[in-house]
Amino acid sequence: MPSRQTRPRLLQAMLDAFSLPDLRRRILIVFGILVVFRLVAHVTLPGVNLGALADLFEANAMLGMFDFFSGGAMRNFSVVALGVYPYITSTIVMQLMTPVIPRLQALAREGDAGRNKINMITHWLTVPMAGLGGYGQIMLLRSQGAVVSTDTLPTVAMVLAIVAGTMFLVWLGELITQYGIGNGISIIIFAGIVAGLFEMIGQGRLTLAQDQGWGLIFFILIGLATTVVIVIFTEAHRRIPVQYAKSVFRSGRMYRQSGSTYIPLRVNTAGMIPLIFAMALVLFPGMVASYFANPAGADPNFANAIMNLFNPEAALPMGFFYWGFFFFMVVAFAFFYTMVIFQQQDLPGVLQRQGGFVPGIRPGKQTASYLNGVIIHITWAGALFLAGVAIMPFMAREITNVQMIQLSSFGMLIVVGVVLDTMKQMEAQLTMRRYEGFIK
């Protein structure tokens, strides 16, 4: 049997967690809530033509993005069809509006009380976001023949059911955060991605049946290499040394004491938000054009040209435009969102208020200029990393010629991020309990 030191960290943390009653209870709560989520994801709304819905998903990539956030519930058009996507949108809107609206800036500076108020506003904003999103999806599916009912009362009932389903998932996510381990919203999305692995395995068998074994091997190797790169850049950060000077009054005399630490500036500060913004932007023109395009076999019009130009499945050389534009927008949004987050943190002001300074840099404007220069420098690496992950599905498809399986940039980022974050929180819980046991 392998020793404690030779076991993988995640496996060892899981074994140690199950040996402690309170951590075992937290893990079982997480699994129980995820089972409830997967059951609700299969409760289809009435009046839906599942055959027409499946055909629509094959032809519309934008719906695939929504299905990703809903954990497969959108493909069934269940009561949780939108998943936690409206809540994520509300959170992003609040983050972008906080530095713009003075009232929200004041709340952000009030500590836990202010953050709780902002969180409550985010929840209230999720309700109309879910209502508008649900109504839009119903109208879209109705125009494509996937929703049969056209009466007002059934439509209102479907919208209310979708809003209730979204808020139910948000509540389940918060239960996981409070009583389980890890970030509940991320784990809800993570569970949906993992549930789709079985379909991917089935597609892999079909690929082998088509004598594409070597292509499938290269495809898997590309996926593994991408996962390693994601882990490296997710954990990468630049350490900025900081010194603190303080005065201590002792035995009737004033003494000067100093201490040193560092500020970890993450290479990928923006996370996966730039990917969300960029994908929504590049898919939107094609989705709108699809409503005005002539059907297959008819003479193509301008809408057909736009739809082909913004089609992620387009063959070369047309595919270069979509994926090149996607690459550029991810880089642009990475810089934009990183600077928004960095300005909200106000690190130069925090250091000056706490008596800290960067060695060799004057406090105030010089410190702000120095930190801005550092964050811009390291964001280039993070932005190019995100853009590379974004176009990885296109590269994998062209290199391996495997068409039936698609790598998911969002899926890989979320899976790696959730696993790393959950592992860290589990190890922190174990360290805290070992420390408490040592003290006792």
- β-pairing verdict for 237-250 and 253-266: antiparallel
| Alpha carbons 431 and 357: distance in angstroms, whole number | 31
d(CA 438, CA 440) in angstroms, rounded, equals: 5
State residue 127's pLDDT score.
93
Q: How many CB atoms lie within 10 A of CB 197?
A: 11
pLDDT at 6: 38
Q: What is the pTM of this model?
A: 0.73
How far lies 297's CA from each of 158, 216, 293, 302, in Å? 35, 34, 11, 15
**What is the model's pLDDT at position 137?**
79
Task: Give residue 128's pLDDT.
Answer: 92
Residue 323: the pLDDT is 83
What pLDDT is recorded for position 123?
A: 92
Angle between helices 409-439 and 21-40 in degrees, nearest 10: 160
| Tally of CB atoms within 10 A around 99 | 15
Q: How far apart are CA 65 and CA 74, in angstroms?
A: 10
Closest by CA to 170, choosing from 33, 62, 279, is 33
What amino acid occupies position 238?
R
Residue whose tokens read 């500020």: 263
**Using CA atoms, how far apart are residues 12 and 427, in angstroms rounded to an integer?**
10
**Residues 362, 395: Cα–Cα separation, whole Å:** 46
CA angle 135, 127, 161 (to 5 degrees): 55
State residue 196's pLDDT score: 67
Kindly report the backbone phi and psi dihedral angles of residue 110, in degrees, each rounded to the nearest multiple of 5, phi listed first: -90, 10
pLDDT at 142 (0 to 100): 80
Q: Which two tokens stand for residue 49?
A: 């033509």
pLDDT in 10s for each residue of the chain, 440 residues: 344 443 455 566 667 777 778 888 888 999 999 999 988 888 888 878 777 777 777 666 556 656 655 656 777 788 888 888 788 888 888 877 887 788 888 887 777 788 888 889 999 999 998 898 888 878 877 877 778 777 788 888 889 999 999 999 999 999 998 888 878 888 888 887 777 666 666 555 555 555 555 666 776 777 778 778 888 888 888 888 888 766 544 555 544 445 567 888 888 888 777 877 787 778 777 767 766 777 666 667 777 778 778 777 666 666 678 888 888 988 998 898 888 888 777 788 878 777 778 888 888 788 888 888 889 999 998 889 888 888 887 777 777 665 545 556 667 777 787 777 777 777 777 777 665 544 44
Domains of the chain: 1-195 (1.10.3370.10), 210-440 (1.10.3370.10)
